[in-house]
Amino acid sequence: MVDGLRTDEPTHGSDRLYDGAWYHGSPEVLAVLATGSTVTRCRVAAEAFAHKPTCVGAEEKATLVKVCHNGTRDGVLYLVEEVAQADVRLHPDSSFRPGGLEWLTNRPLKVRKVADLPIGEPPCLGESCPHRRGGER
């Protein structure tokens, strides 16, 4: 549990800003995240980062978010297990709004694979991203 929220049951297909669980997206096969890895409670953001994009955009409406990216690699969505408040800190250079979409880990954390994420067609490309925020990542 993290802040009273279960972290062992991911919400599949969620487009909520905060799903409660902690996620990490990567094209790499992982069992443990290294210190300094990016994690998020926003499943769709982790899914986007799994494809190793250079550009990520987001549009927020109330508690929902749409994320687009220009990633080109198949990815994997991971659930980060046993996260305590001291294990994470806000990402100082987040390309999303301030306040909590991206966090950095303070120690190695175990992860569990949730889903394979084939790339298909990229949801957006560079400057054509309708929800683009910040600079290139």
pLDDT for position 114 = 94
Question: What is the full DSSP assignment across 42-95?
Answer: -HHHHHHHTT--S-EEEEEETTEEEEEE---S-EEEEEEPS--GGGEEE-TT-S
Q: Roughly how many angstroms between the first and final C-alpha of the chain, as a whole number?
A: 31
DSSP 8-state code for residue 120: -
pLDDT tens readout for residues 48-84: 888 887 777 666 665 556 676 777 788 999 999 989 9
Distance from C-alpha of 103 to C-alpha of 22, rounded to nearest angstrom: 10
Give the pTM.
Answer: 0.73
Domain boundaries along the sequence of the chain: 22-52+72-121
- Reported as a single tens digit per residue, the pLDDT across 75-118 is 999 999 989 999 999 888 876 666 668 899 999 999 999 999 88
Let me know: does 63 contact 42? Beta carbons within 8 Å.
no
Whether 40 and 46 have beta carbons less than 8 Å apart is answered as yes
In three-state secondary structure terms, 128 is helix
Instruction: Examine the pLDDT at 42 and tell me if it is beyond 70.
Output: yes
